[in-house]
Amino acid sequence: METARYILSRFGQSLFALLCIITLTFFLARLAPGGPFLDEKAVPEHLIEQMNKNYGFDKDLHIQYFLYLGRLIQGDLGPSLGNKGFSVNEVIAEGFPVSFMLGIVGLIIALLIGVPVGVFAAAKRNTAIDYTLMAIAMLGICLPTFVIAPLLGELLALNLGLFDVALWENSSAWFLGALTLGLYYSAYIARLTRGSMLDVLHQDFIRTAKAKGVAPMKVLFKHAFRGGITPVVAYLGPALAGLIGGSFVVETVFGLPGLGQHFIKAATNRDYWLINGTVTVFAVLILVMNFFVDVVQAWLDPRTRSRN
């Protein structure tokens, strides 16, 4: 009963946050100078007026806002202004799977690298190996994806010929994109794993286990690992949302048709409906992930519920 009430209240909070995000985005996009119909070769004033009329931008802003909300409830995100003939729904439906795949594969790579490295570093804490691994991880965190991505492209695609360096169709470039994201996040995960493993390794039950003569590998994997990995699991939700939303750079560097590109280009094109649409999708994604994590945590740890 208590759990149900908690879930309900978290759901309500999420919905409220979503409405705030949608509203803010709508008005902020409109406040930005410039407009969707300006072009390098000037468009005469009378035509810009007509275009505003064709798209309903001549009405009062608050009326447009309510019309937009009305359409949104029906699941209609409106037409794209920068990709004529396409609706925002279509643009997102095409782009989201690409970003989602990059995110999932990136996350798997991040876990495959990050967790073993973290565990190993924790096992060898305060040795040269630990310091080296963590220094590399720190470097990985500091190197932005726009440095890693071209480097990987140059090395793995152009020098070694293992992958294609760009394009989507019949191309392996997407894997380089996922790898870039994976390497970047593996650095975080390695540090996170190491930290939480160390916490666990210092606890009494580990000492007891060791005192009883349990094999060190068994202590590490059977006794410590489960506890040590929990914070990493909690991090997965937000990490996936971040991976999917943060793939703009790799999408540009490898020419991939994901949602990240639309997220940025919509803003520079003043493609109002696409700005609102992509922001809404990312907001929903992050809210759902956080909601899910909160609920799972509440399930596991009753203290979270009572605190709320």
Residues that bind another protein (CB under 8 A): 32-48, 50-51, 54, 79, 82-86, 91, 94-95, 116, 120, 123-124, 150, 153-154, 157-158, 160-162, 164-171, 210, 216-217, 220, 251-258, 261-262, 265, 268-270
In Å, what is the CA distance from 212 to each residue of 7, 124, 200, 208, 290?
43, 21, 17, 6, 40
CB nearer another protein, residue 4 or residue 31: 31
Identify residue 199 by its one-letter amino acid code.
Answer: D
CB nearer another protein, residue 268 or residue 306: 268
The residues near 184 (Cβ < 8 Å, ≥ 6 apart) are: 110, 140, 141, 143, 145, 148
Query: Closest separation between CB of residue 153 and another protein, Å?
Result: 6
CB nearer another protein, residue 75 or residue 85: 85
Identify residue 153 by its one-letter amino acid code.
Answer: G
Query: Closest separation between CB of residue 67 and another protein, Å?
Result: 17
CB nearer another protein, residue 184 or residue 248: 248
Residue 103 near residue 244, CB atoms below 8 Å = yes
Query: Closest separation between CB of residue 79 and another protein, Å?
Result: 5
Query: Closest separation between CB of residue 263 and another protein, Å?
Result: 12
Query: Closest separation between CB of residue 165 and another protein, Å?
Result: 4
Cα gap 5→299, rounded to integer Å:
13
Query: Considering only CA atoms, which of 151, 154, 127 is closest in space to residue 139?
Result: 151
H-run or E-run covering 18: helix 2-31
- Give 250: exposed, middle or buried? Use CB within 10 Å, 0-12, 13-18, 19+: buried
Residue 83 near residue 278, CB atoms below 8 Å = no
Tokens representing 282 are: 């990312």
Beta bridge partners of 79: 87
Tokens representing 167 are: 């394009």
CB nearer another protein, residue 14 or residue 145: 145
Query: Closest separation between CB of residue 141 and another protein, Å?
Result: 23
CB nearer another protein, residue 84 or residue 303: 84
Residue 26 near residue 65, CB atoms below 8 Å = yes
Helix axis angle for 2-31 and 272-300, nearest 10°, is 160
Query: Closest separation between CB of residue 261 and another protein, Å?
Result: 5
Query: Closest separation between CB of residue 253 and another protein, Å?
Result: 6
Q: How many CA atoms lie within 13 A of 188 on its CB side?
A: 20
